[in-house]
Each structure stands twice: as C-alpha cells, then as structure tokens.
Structure 1
C-alpha cells in the first residue's frame, strides 16, 4: 500500500505543476474480466476460468506533454476476477466443496500516454501504458456439489493472510501490475466513449503451484468536467 500511495502522490504533484492546463473527468465502465490460470507442473489439472461481468468507476486526468500528446492517469476502483471451474475428480454420491466465482476489488492507477487526433468536432484518442493495482478486498462463492450438481452456495471474504481458497492451491497476493491500451472518442459536448484492454503481467498467486494473471476488457462512458485541453 505504501508504494501505491507514493505513485498517487507523485502523480498529484505532477498535476499540480501543470494545474492550469490539466483537464479532469469522471467515467464509469462495464468490465468483462477473466483470469488466466496455469499449473506449470501438471497442466491437465489447471483450474479453468470463465469471464465475469464487473464494473469500474474512476477519475481521469489529461496532462499535456506535447502538441496532441497527453499523459492520462486514471485513479479508479475496479472489480476483476473470474468464474473458477475444476476437472471433475469427485467420486459418485459424494459431496464436494469448491470456490467458484472470485471477485477482486482493486484500486488501480493506469498511466497511459495518449495521442489525440482531431476528427471534425470530436477527438479520437489512442494510447497505452502500464498500470498498477492494489486489491483492497476480495470475495468468492463457496459452493457445495453433489455429483456435479450445485446444491448450496455461500459468499465468503478472502483472507490474504490465510492459507488461501478452500479446495484450491490459490493463495492471492494484493498487488497487480500490467499493461493497458485504450481507444476513446471525446465529443464537444463534454462526453467520452472508450474501450480498453488490460493485460496483467504479474502473478497474483503467491503459491508455487499456480500462475494467475488478470485479464479485462472495458467499455466506458464519461464526462469531462473542464475542457482546458480542447
């Protein structure tokens, strides 16, 4: 958390020096998130994952760097995660438990370098850059199965200091970092539409048996609160 605070403070200081030129906006996003899970030692026994529908809300800053070029940090609260599945190895007539839907609540800070191209009365913005995220909390569904049929589900919080998720080798880490790409359209009525893709590069699992990376695709709608960069 200390490193994340340093990054945020550094960004704020940078913006303070250019405060007369910075534009600020807000945006909300639909996020289609998933997890890439690998078990290098026994690939056939790797848990599977399916996409989940999540959301994101954040503050967007546009800091001029050069003509048409902007640094665009976004301080956001974002849900990531995926729906877990496992190879069926349970005996007949037996009850088994498994952690299924896993939702990770992140404070994230992408820092994209964006180039804005005038297109009529709008601007087309294309950019990419790194992101860092801190998982403030996480929850999962703990499901009971009988012969492959779900008979009961409860919601549990993840304890990052414990042994991990039940009946899995997953031991989650709070920190995540990766790469982000974005394409957006800024209209002259102060609204924005954008799509972005985030590719997690860090292994968010602390165990030595699994390798887990975040993946997410977002569709956003937002408002620009001032147009000093127009």
Structure 2
C-alpha cells in the first residue's frame, strides 16, 4: 500500500509540472464531524455519521486547481485531518472486568483527488466535485475504559501504534496506517477569492490488518478559506 501511495503522489506531481502556469493555489480550514465504524464477529457495531458517536475536530487544506477543459478542473487537496469517534462500550459481562475503547482519534495526511465542475454565476462559481482519496496515518490516541458490571472504574489514554502488534484500539486489533475511499464535494468560489466548501467522505479500506473486525472511517466537513491566485486570471 505504501508503494501505491508513493506512486500516486509522484504521478500527481508529474501532472502538475506541465501546467504550472495555470495552476492556482488556496488555503482552507474548517470543522469536521467524523465517525469510525467498527463491526466484529461478536456482533459489536459502532455508530456512524449523524449519531452521538461523532467526533468533532478541525482540518486544514492546501487547495490545488488545475484546469482540464473549459469548466472542468482537477482539484486535489493536501489535507491534515483528525478522524475517529466516541465508541460505544463493549457488551457487559456480568462479574467480569472488561476493557473497552472510548474516544478514538486518528491523525491523517489525506489527499482527495477530485474532478470538479465549476458553474459561473454573477458573484463567483459553484463548484461540484467527486473523486477518490488516499490517506497516511501520522498517529493517534484512544481512551481505554476499565468496566465492571457496566461501571467505569478507570480510564487510561494510549497512543495508537500503527502496524504494531496488539497496540490497536483493543487487544489483537492491529490498525493499518493507510486509508482510502471516496468523497463528494460542494463549494463556492467568490469573485473576491474567498471559498466555501463542504464534503462527505467514506472510507472503503478495512483498517484492521488482522481481519478480526471491519473498521472504516467516514466524515463530513465544512471549510472556509481563500485562493492565493486564480487560474482563470
């Protein structure tokens, strides 16, 4: 997976060089609602976007606009984002101590690679887009509750160690560093260079390398920023 990520990044850079004079850049940041879906063989299933399990955090983007043909553009982002969720407690086992992960935070450098269509209007452009993304895990943390008969006795914070045995969010769960999926985006570019954006992202890569569970990411984001230049000027 690391070789695929490197290859995509190199192709992406090579694509930019011939059209560097037309490329425009921008900076953007905003608010993220994320969820990590977990389903294991015991029937445990975490909640998703739109429920109380959502993790609220921030993200930051470098926007790159590359004209392709008329109103069609290639618009990749370089995004720093925190994904994760508040996880439901594991099923109670009466009379036994149970370890259950609570708050999960995973920090990623993500590259959404969207194809967008820009619709000119009087005050700017409506931006509609979609495409795949790849993400590289930089690190993370989770809170581990010790439960007895449904009561939390203690909580400890642990670092997520990608690709390190038994240091995922539960014993026996090994988290992969790489994530991939797809997203859809809606935005607006004002004539004064301000930009607004919203996106919905869904991961399709199982983050559990042991296959003892299915773990995927999803998030909804709202962004505000500014273009440093315009490719159509």
TM-score clears 0.5: yes
SS for the counterpart of 1:217 is strand
Q: CA deviation at 1:183?
A: 0.3
Question: What does the per-residue CA deviation read over 1:102-128, in whole Å, with 9 as the maximum and x for residues that have no partner?
Answer: 111111111000000011121000000
- Tell me by how many angstroms 1:57 deviates: 0.7
User: Which residue is equivalent to 2:228?
Assistant: 225
Q: How has the CA–CA distance of structure 1 residues 166 and 116 changed in structure 2, closer, same or farther, with 3 Å as cutoff? A: closer
Instruction: Quote the residue 2:46 is aligned against.
Output: 48
**Which residue of the other structure, out of 100, 103, 112, is the alignment partner of 1:101?**
103
Pair 87,157 (structure 1): closer, same or farther in 2 beyond 3 Å: closer
Contact 2:92 2:149 (8 Å CA) reproduced: no
Once the two structures are TM-superposed, the CA of residue 175 in structure 1 deviates from its matched residue by 0.9
Structure 2 counterpart SS, 1:85:
coil
Q: Does 1:137 align with 2:135?
A: no
- Kindly tell me: are residues 21 and 218 of structure 1, through their superposed partners in 2, closer, same or farther at Cα, counting changes over 3 Å? same
String of CA shifts for 1:155-193, please: whole Å, max 9, x gaps: 210122122436555321111111110000111111111
* CA distance in structure 2 between the aligned counterparts of 1:188 and 1:170, rounded to whole angstroms: 49
- Say if 2:174 and 2:209, in contact at 8 Å, map to a contact too: yes
RMSD of aligned C-alpha atoms? 1.8
2:190 counterpart residue number? 187
CA contact (8 A) 1:48 1:86 kept: no
Given that 2:92 and 2:98 are in contact with CA atoms closer than 8 Å, whether structure 1 keeps it comes out as: no
User: Helix, strand or coil for the counterpart of 1:48?
Assistant: coil
Deviations 1:197-230 (A, max 9, x none): 0111111111222111111100011110001235
Instruction: Tell me, yes or no, if the aligned pair for 2:160 and 2:169 is still in contact at 8 Å.
Output: no
Q: C-alpha separation between the residues in 1 aligned to 2:200 and 2:144?
A: 29
- For residues 20 and 8 of structure 1, the distance between their equivalents in structure 2, rounded to whole angstroms, comes to 20
TM-score (normalizing by structure 2): 0.89
- The residue that corresponds to 1:9 in the other structure is 10
TM normalised by structure 1 equals 0.90
Structure 2 residue ranges without an equivalent (≥5): 48-52
